[in-house]
Structure formats: C-alpha cells, structure tokens
C-alpha cells in the first residue's frame, strides 16, 4: 500500500518537474483556459503548450473539456493552487535565508 502511495507521489512530482508545466498550472489556477489563451499568456509556442498539457492530462492533473471546436483546460483538483503557493513560499524562505547569509558575509568582509 505504501509503495503505491510513494509511486503516486513520485509520478505526480515528475509531472510537475518542468518549468512550462508549472507556468501552465499557474495560469489555470486563475481560471479555465484554452490552449491559445495559455499560449498567449505564457508567450510560448502552441505545440509546446499542447505537449505539456498532454503530460498533465495523462497524470490526471488537468482535465480538458470540449466546447465547440476548442478544448478548455482546468485543474482537476483545486488543491494544486495551494501546492503552487506552498512551493512559492518555500522558494521565498530559501531566498530570504540566502539574502541573510550574503548580508552576514558582507558585514564580515568589511
């Protein structure tokens, strides 16, 4: 049972392990969007966005709904938004510690 949970977690984080996929998720955190909307907001080629959405769909992180001739993407689980926020907080914590360390080093070198 625990092996299945660990495998799920590892696969989940692998699916998030690409900068463009993170950007896509951040855009979808603000609301549902089409490939063209995501592409425009991110400033990336449509094929690259489509490829990354395919990975996210395969891992059940996003879901696509056909609306006319477009597919509208959304987050499968709204907890993804919290996960992205926590990741940002962790980054900020590391950054703050690095800035403090640099400040200490500057003081020592004076």
| C-alpha dihedral, 24 to 50 to 18 to 79, nearest 10° | 40
Distances (CA, A) of 38 to 44, 81, 86: 8, 16, 22
pLDDT in tens, 27-41: 999 999 999 999 999
- Sign of torsion, CA 10 14 75 29? positive
Q: Please report, for the chain, the start and end positions of each structural domain, with discontinuous segments joined by +.
A: 2-76, 78-110
Distances (CA, A) of 11 to 6, 7, 55, 75, 91: 9, 6, 11, 17, 22
CA separation for the pair 10, 79 (Å, rounded): 17
Joined together, the tokens standing for residue 72 give 């509208």
Please give the model's pTM, rounded to 2 decimal places.
0.82
pLDDT at 92 over 80: yes
Q: Give the class (CATH, top level) of 2-76.
A: mainly alpha
Write out the H or E segment, with its range, that includes residue 56. Answer: helix 46-58
Joined together, the tokens standing for residue 81 give 């938004």
Kindly indicate the confidence band of residue 100, based on its pLDDT and cuts at 50, 70 and 90: confident
């Amino acid at each position: 049972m625990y092996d299945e949970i660990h495998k799920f977690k590892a696969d989940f984080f692998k699916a998030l392990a690409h900068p463009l996929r993170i950007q896509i998720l951040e855009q979808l955190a603000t609301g549902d969007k089409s490939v063209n909307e995501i592409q425009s907001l991110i400033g990336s080629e449509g094929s690259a966005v489509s490829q990354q959405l395919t990975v996210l769909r395969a891992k059940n992180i996003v879901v696509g709904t056909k609306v006319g001739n477009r597919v509208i993407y959304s987050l499968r689980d709204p907890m993804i938004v919290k996960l992205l926020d926590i990741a940002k907080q962790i980054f900020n914590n590391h950054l703050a510690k690095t800035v403090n360390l640099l400040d200490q080093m500057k003081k020592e070198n004076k």
